[in-house]
Amino acid sequence: MIEPFYPARGEATLKLGEARKAICEYRKATGNIPGTIELLLTYSEAGAEFTNDFGDIDERFYVSLCSALNELADLIMSEGEEAWAVVSGRMEKLATRTARIWWGYGDHVGEVFAELCSHFSSH
The whole model's pTM is what?
0.86
pLDDT at residue 101 greater than cutoff 70 = yes
Q: How many CB atoms lie within 10 A of CB 84?
A: 19
pLDDT of residue 86: 97
> Cα torsion for 55, 61, 66, 72, to the nearest 10°?
-100
pLDDT at residue 122 greater than cutoff 70 = yes
Of 36, 42, 7, 9, which Cα lies nearest the Cα of 24?
A: 36
pLDDT of residue 10: 52
For 50-80, write each residue's pLDDT tens digit.
Answer: 888 888 788 888 999 999 999 999 999 999 9
How far is 48 from 92, CA to CA, in rounded Å?
13
Once rounded to an integer, what is the mean pLDDT over residues 13-37? 91
Exposure on the CB side of residue 34, measured as CA atoms within 13 A: 8
